Amino acid sequence: MQSAWRWLLVISLSASGSQANANDWNMPVGVTDISADIFGLHMTIFWVCVVIGLVVFGAMFYSLFRYRHSKGAKAANFHEHTSVEVLWTAIPVLILVGMAVPATATLKNMYDSSDAELDVMITGQQWRWRYEYLGEDVAFNSNMSTPRTQISGAETRGEHYLLEVDEPLVLPINRKVRFLMTSDDVIHSWWVPDLAVKQDTIPGFINENWVKINEPGIYRGQCTELCGVNHGFMPVVVHAMEEEEFEGWLAKRKEAAAEEAMGVDREWGMEELAERGESVYQAICSSCHQAEGQGSPPAFPALANNQQLIEDVDWHLDKVINGVSGAAMPAFRSTLNPVEIAAVVTYTRNAWGNDTGDVVQPSEVAELIAQ
């Protein structure tokens, strides 16, 4: 009974408390010219439907009320009227032509990705996005950062529950950015409502789309094509910055990438590798193999106390670098850099009772990848 009252409260609150923005109810106008055009089309066709609906349902309910059998209505016997029929065929055709013209113009605009000033490769993976700034040597993965404890309800859910990532895609405003989109495994779909960009990422194929953002801000979306167990946990976050700020960010990322590349050649200690490995593991591996390496068989084998893994370091490296064909395990040779692979393998071989004591050096991994 108490919970019933709580529902009523929630319903009445949500009905009265909707003074928040229109985004809660309707499609967002968004922050690009295209998204505003689409919003316009959406509202136009919506009102067209409302008007037609009022006329048709109005006529229907009038007839239902006026010609009730119980009020002694006598049925007429007409059953066709060609000119009326032609008319009500012609009017919808005209309305549809009227809709098709602006829709065609908008669609042409959406398909014109020429003259882009920046190319970003977006790769879908079970279950994260990888962003690569083409020609800039900057690439990173973007994983959901909402902790599992919030999903299970052990911890209070934050404001951006399920719509937050460890590293957002950073883009400049007022600049035409072209997206090249593909996938490493199954079909995903990259969507940010405020940018009105939704495009399937398809393994083996590259799709194009583009965006020119008008306002700085943080825009959130999600994967919209069912892509497996964690389809619901694959958010997209775009951080749009002023152009100078973006240039600064990009320069810093380039520097960090160069530093990381240098790190491949030096000798790493167990401690630092395991520490780095733990964060890589939690971001990349734990969605399938679980936080404590316990896996969820049969699809995702356990890593803790996995005898084959413990005994054979070469086998372990091969699976991480090259993946398992025909199974869900992807190849990480291009998704993670040698330092990250070495770190996560070292971590896995020494965590949760896998006390092998092995240390895998980034240089070894780099060699394996080069082969």
Partner 1 sequence: MSPKLPPQPHVQHSTTAVADGQSHAHPAPPKGILRWLLTTNHKEIGSLYLIFSLTMFFVGGIFALVVRAELFQPGLQLVQPEFFNQMTTMHGLIMVFAAVMPAFTGLANWMIPLQIGAPDMALPRLNNFSFWLLPVAFTLLLSTLLMPGGGPNFGWTFYAPLSTNYAPPSTTFFILSLHLAGISSILGAINIIATILNMRAPGMRLMDMPLFVWTWLITAFLLIAVMPVLAAVITMMLMDINFGTSFFNAAGGGDPVLFQHLFWTFGHPEVYIMILPAFGIVSAIIPTFARKPLFGYASMVYATAAIAFLSFLVWAHHMFVVGMPLVAELFFMYTTMLIAVPTGVKVFNWVTTLFRGSISFESPMLFALAFVVLFTIGGFSGLMLAIAPADFQYHDTYFVVAHFHYVLVPGAIFAIMAGVYYWLPKWTGHYPNERLAQWHFWFSIIGVNLTFFPMHFAGLAGMPRRIPDYALQFADFNLLSSIGAFFFGASQLLFVLGIILCVRGGKKAPAKAWEGAEDLEWTVPCPAPLHTFETPPVFHRTSH
Partner 2 sequence: MWSVVKSVLAALLGVQSNQKRQEDFSSGKPAAYIVTGIVITLLFVLVLIVLATFAAR
Residues between 135 and 194 with contacts to partner 1, criterion CB under 8 A? 150-153, 157, 159-163, 185-187, 189, 191, 193
Q: Which two tokens stand for residue 304?
A: 């803790």
Query: Is the separation of the CB atoms in 121 and 131 below 8 Å?
Result: yes
**DSSP secondary structure letter of residue 70:** G
Sheet holding 188-192, edge to edge: 169-172, 235-241, 217-223, 188-192, 197-201
Which one of 23, 104, 174, 308 is in contact with partner 2 (CB under 8 A)?
104
- Examine residue 205 and tell whether it contacts partner 1 (CB under 8 A): yes
Asked whether position 117 contacts partner 2 by CB under 8 A, the answer is: no
Distance (Å) of CA 202 to CA 37, 106, 124, 225, 227: 27, 24, 8, 11, 11
The first and second tokens of residue 243, run together, are 């152009």
Q: Which stretch binds partner 2 (CB under 8 A): 36-44, 78-86, 158-166, 237-245?
A: 78-86
**How many residues sit in the footprint of partner 2 (CB under 8 A)?**
8
**Residue 86 touches which member of partner 1, partner 2, none, C-beta under 5-8 Å by kind:** partner 2
Q: What angle do CA 308, 270, 315 make, to 5 degrees?
A: 20
Question: Any contact of residue 70 with partner 2 (CB under 8 A)?
Answer: no
Among 19, 82, 152, 325, binds partner 2 (CB under 8 A): 82
Which residue, 141, 188, 148, is CA-closest to 166?
Answer: 141
Strands 118-125 and 177-183: parallel
Q: How far is the CB of 85 from partner 2 (least distance, A)?
A: 5
- Considering only 1, 3, 79, 152, the residue that binds partner 2 (CB under 8 A) is 79
Q: Which is nearer to partner 2, 107 or 162 (CB)?
A: 107
Q: For partner 1, which stretch binds (CB under 8 A), given 73-81, 170-178, 278-286, 362-370?
A: 73-81
Pick from partner 2, partner 1, none: which does 298 bind, CB < 5 to 8 A by kind? partner 1
Alpha-carbon separation of residue 139 from 326, 334, 369, 371 (angstroms): 27, 10, 17, 22
d(CA 94, CA 85): 15
114 is a site residue for partner 2 (CB under 8 A): no
Distance CA 10, CA 147 (A): 26
Min separation Cβ 76 and partner 1, Å: 4
> Which residues of this protein are in contact with partner 2, per CB under 8 A?
79-80, 82, 85-86, 89, 104, 108
